[in-house]
Amino acid sequence: MAEERLDPWGTVEVKDYDRLRRVFGIRPFAEVIPKIREAGLPPSLHMRRGIIFGHRDFDKVIVEGYMKGEKIAIITGFMPSGRFHFGHKLTADQLIYMQRVFGAKVFIALADAEAYAVRRLPRREIIRLGIEEYVANLIALGLDPDKTDFYFQTNRGTPYYRLIQLFSGKVTAAEMEAIYGDLTPSKVVASLTQAADILHPELDEYGGYKRVVVPVGADQDPHIRLTRDLCERLRGVVHLERPAATYHKLIRGLDGAKMSSSRPDYTIFLTDPPDVAVRKFMRALTGGRATAEEQRRLGGEPEKCTVYDLYLYHLVPDDNELARIYRDCRSGTMLCGECKRMGAERLKAFLEEHQARLEEAREIARSVVEPPSF
């Protein structure tokens, strides 16, 4: 354990992830990294740092597919009910990496019906958020809109909905309850729709067969397993191969609990005015000790530090530099005040640059997504 805790990339306890691998058959991502390099490709920052910690069939479906010159797709969904934050950016970075490095076509589902059902926002506001918050921020972060298919789930065309209808006959209530708890009509439809999101890029009707990977948090695995099973269950009806999945750790909010749009004090949004973001950041929970004296003596605990999380996931792309910050914290050389001031500068610079690109990205976003007619 002591060694594991001294890993600069290992800020989050890994025992739950080990269990996921053991019990459910998620494989460690580390085993795939040499294969990615053998294919002549660089692993991503999140892969190198173990933030993407697990996978299903990433080697067989994606790396081998790439070597054979087959078409690859990556698909994810966003619920357009709040603002785009650093938790979303983790997924965005994976999409951009797959697009640039693996040449993957990117599919972005905007879960407008679910937002309407769950969050009770007006349809118009949901559609506005989908385009102006999610699509625009993704483009500003570097997603190439020419190689991305952005869509609202209520606006996707008949073969996609046919999948939903056929899936509905191939899942039992018990299976769905095991994943989602008590069934409601909106949960049933939303979960079958998610399965269609994942699998429809394989259909002829959406640009022809592609090998698909889905980046998810570990909590999404039951859904991935069900979706993979559905491919078998529709054998003979429609050609669907089981998608690959990658599993990433989740960045914490600034108080150490969940990062979420519904907790704006502990969540940094990519559209926060830089001074607002910096104020939140300066109050963030760190791994500092009770006193400066104690911290100089014992060193800080980056594993407990939400500021370090931001460095690890987003703000310090250079591995050597991150290792230096980790060492200086652990050794007590750099205290939290100094560290936060450095982080605040980086955060401010990142947001200023990002927001400078955002206006043009919004223009593009409006032209690349078709809003539903109602």
The length of the chain, given as a count of residues: 374
**Among residue numbers 111 through 170, which ones bind its own copies (CB under 8 A)?**
113-114, 116-118, 122-123, 153-159, 161-162, 164-170
Return the C-alpha torsion angle 86, 89, 93, 96, nearest 10.
-160
Least distance to its own copies, CB of residue 86, Å: 28
Closer residue to its own copies (CB): 9 or 209? 209
**Residue 194 near its own copies by CB under 8 A:** no
Dihedral sign (CA 264, 282, 137, 55):
negative
Least distance to its own copies, CB of residue 154, Å: 4
Closer residue to its own copies (CB): 9 or 180? 180
Is residue 69 a contact partner of residue 77, using CB atoms and an 8 Å limit? Answer: no
What does DSSP assign to residue 303?
A: G
Question: By CB under 8 A, which span of 18-26, 175-183, 258-266, 309-317 interacts with its own copies?
Answer: 175-183
Burial label, 121 (beta-carbon count in 10 A; 0-12, 13-18, 19+): middle
Q: Which of 12, 30, 189, 250 binds its own copies (CB under 8 A)?
A: 189
Burial label, 244 (beta-carbon count in 10 A; 0-12, 13-18, 19+): buried
Least distance to its own copies, CB of residue 209, Å: 13
**Residue 185 near its own copies by CB under 8 A:** yes
Closer residue to its own copies (CB): 183 or 257? 183
Is residue 50 a contact partner of residue 30, using CB atoms and an 8 Å limit? Answer: yes
Q: Which of 131, 171, 254, 310 binds its own copies (CB under 8 A)?
A: 171
**Among residue numbers 217 through 246, which ones bind its own copies (CB under 8 A)?**
236-238
Closer residue to its own copies (CB): 37 or 124? 124
Q: Which of 12, 20, 33, 188 binds its own copies (CB under 8 A)?
A: 188
289, two tokens = 């000790």
What does DSSP assign to residue 202?
A: G
Least distance to its own copies, CB of residue 127, Å: 11
Least distance to its own copies, CB of residue 157, Å: 6
Closer residue to its own copies (CB): 39 or 188? 188
Question: By CB under 8 A, which span of 182-190, 288-296, 320-328, 337-345 interacts with its own copies?
Answer: 182-190
Measured from the Cβ of residue 366, the count of other Cβ atoms closer than 10 Å reads 13
**Residue 331 near its own copies by CB under 8 A:** no
User: How many Å apart are CA 141 and CA 295, to the nearest integer?
Assistant: 37
**Residue 173 near its own copies by CB under 8 A:** yes
Closer residue to its own copies (CB): 88 or 156? 156
Q: Are strands 211-217 and 72-78 parallel, antiparallel or unpaired?
A: parallel
Closer residue to its own copies (CB): 170 or 357? 170
User: How many Å apart are CA 346 and CA 287, to the nearest integer?
Assistant: 19
Closest CA to 130 of 107, 154, 111: 111
Is residue 153 a contact partner of residue 117, using CB atoms and an 8 Å limit? Answer: no
Closer residue to its own copies (CB): 122 or 317? 122
Closer residue to its own copies (CB): 187 or 314? 187
User: How many Å apart are CA 11 and CA 34, to the nearest integer?
Assistant: 23
**Residue 61 near its own copies by CB under 8 A:** no
Beta strand ranges found along the chain (DSSP E):
27-28, 52-56, 72-78, 105-110, 148-152, 211-217, 244-248
**Among residue numbers 72 through 91, which ones bind its own copies (CB under 8 A)?**
none
Closest CA to 43 of 32, 57, 54, 56: 32
**Given the rule CB under 8 A, which residues bind its own copies?**
113-114, 116-118, 122-123, 153-159, 161-162, 164-173, 176, 182-186, 188-190, 192-193, 204-205, 236-238, 372-374
